[in-house]
Copies of this chain bind each other. A is one copy, B any other.
Amino acid sequence: MEQTQGHTLKAFDRDMAELRELITDMGSFAEAAITEAMRCLVERDAAAAAELVEADVQLDDLEAEAERRVVQLIALRAPMADDLRDVIAALKIAGECERIGDYAKNIARRVRRLPKKGEIEPLSLLPEMARIALSMVHDVLAAFVGRDAEGAKTVCARDDALDDFYESIFRTLLTYMMENSQNIGASTTLLFVAKNLERIGDHATNIAETVYFAATGERLVDSVN
């Protein structure tokens, strides 16, 4: 290593800060995608939904960039022990953000499956579920930025509430289908949207577990996945 240990440490910290910023950008992108996907769904805006599906490639590119930087950072700075664990955690979290974006894309893809006009009663149940999922994503990214183990833990705890919400929507949608076979197409679409939101919560939980492990060296038990 050509630099003194002090310089190497500073360079590592700077590279790591940049990597964190990149991942925070990925998280913000994923958050915005969820919000926009739900707007498209509720307003049945198929044109904007199609654009959102196209835009997801940007998140894939950001993940590839994060991976490139991780490889570069390890090669140039040779981080050890806790630092190396932090880098690997960042790589995993980048992957989770990309997957959350995928679920937002999946929601956007379903918009064209809904009828363009006419009331779809159970559609009103989903925005509240989306709000919970979105708040989990938002808060776990804040915990990542602040290396906040306790904050990460509270995000995990909220995943149970999201799962309960999903189960309740699932039963409601089944009832709608049984009442009238005309509802089956739209209800099935909404069932998948609810499942996507539930999975977003699972990925927020994965991030929370990674943040907790990186901060404490201990694993959170009772993983949801």
* Chain B CB within 8 A of A181 CB: yes
Interface of A is mostly: helix
Closest chain B residue, CB of each to CB of A185: B174
Closest chain B residue, CB of each to CB of A80: B75
* Chain B CB within 8 A of A32 CB: no
What is the bound-complex CA distance between A80 and B72, given in angstroms? 9
- Mark out the residues of chain A between 138 and 186 whose CB falls within 8 Å of any chain B CB in the assembled complex: 174, 177-178, 181, 184-185
- Mark out the residues of chain A between 61 and 114 whose CB falls within 8 Å of any chain B CB in the assembled complex: 64, 67, 70-71, 74-75, 78, 80-81, 84-85, 88, 91-92, 95, 102
Closest chain B residue, CB of each to CB of A176: B184
What is the bound-complex CA distance between A137 and B185, given in angstroms? 31
Query: Which of A7-15, A34-42, A116-124, A187-195 is the contact stretch?
Result: A187-195
> In whole Å, how far is A26's beta carbon from the nearest beta carbon of chain B?
15
Pair A74/B74 contact, Cβ less than 8 Å: yes
Pair B85/A88 contact, Cβ less than 8 Å: no
Pair B195/A184 contact, Cβ less than 8 Å: no
What is the bound-complex CA distance between A81 and B74, given in angstroms? 10
* Chain B CB within 8 A of A60 CB: yes
What is the bound-complex CA distance between A192 and B192, given in angstroms? 8
Pair B91/A71 contact, Cβ less than 8 Å: no
Closest chain B residue, CB of each to CB of A99: B225
Closest chain B residue, CB of each to CB of A57: B223
Pair A81/B75 contact, Cβ less than 8 Å: yes
What is the bound-complex CA distance between A71 and B145, given in angstroms? 22
Neighbour of A184 across the interface among B60, B71, B88, B177, CB < 8 A: B177
What is the bound-complex CA distance between A86 and B205, given in angstroms? 28
Closest chain B residue, CB of each to CB of A56: B225
